Amino acid sequence: MADRNDLRKYLLASKPFKTEKVTLFGQEIELRQPSVRDAFALAQEKDENSQLLVDILIKYAYVPGTDERVFEEGDREAILQWPVGDWVKELTDKFISLSGVDVEEARKN
């Protein structure tokens, strides 16, 4: 059995974040799991769902296999002009799966 110091050392060491591939208009991106801070902050936001979706794309969409984000804050308006489609459900389902947080339930609480 590990002692407290070993247990803390193991648990507080950085952990790998899970990723999911998502296809947006025929292009593959990598969606990354949020941190505890980010997941709960997003769940508490009182903003519109469209803004939340754009926040997810800006903060968690990466060029697959790299640490380079696909989008930046200046892309917000252009993303808001995209047509809604199946990609919205795929993106949100995968993000919720990665975060393990039920956004609607967290908002209620």
Q: What is the pLDDT of residue 28?
A: 95
Residue 15 has pLDDT above 80, yes or no: no
User: What pLDDT shows up at residue 48?
Assistant: 63
36-89 pLDDT, tens digit per residue, is: 677 666 666 655 667 888 899 999 999 999 999 999 999 988 988 887 778 888
β-pair partners for 56: none
Give the closest residue to 97 by CA, choosing from 30, 41, 32: 32
Question: What are the φ and ψ backbone dihedral angles of 41, each rounded to 5 degrees?
Answer: -65, -45
Average pLDDT score over residue span 5-26:
84
Which domains does the chain possess? Answer: 18-108 (3.30.2220.20)
Is residue 109 pLDDT above 60, yes or no?
Answer: no
First-to-final CA distance of the chain = 37
For 96-106, the pLDDT digits (tens) are 889 886 656 65
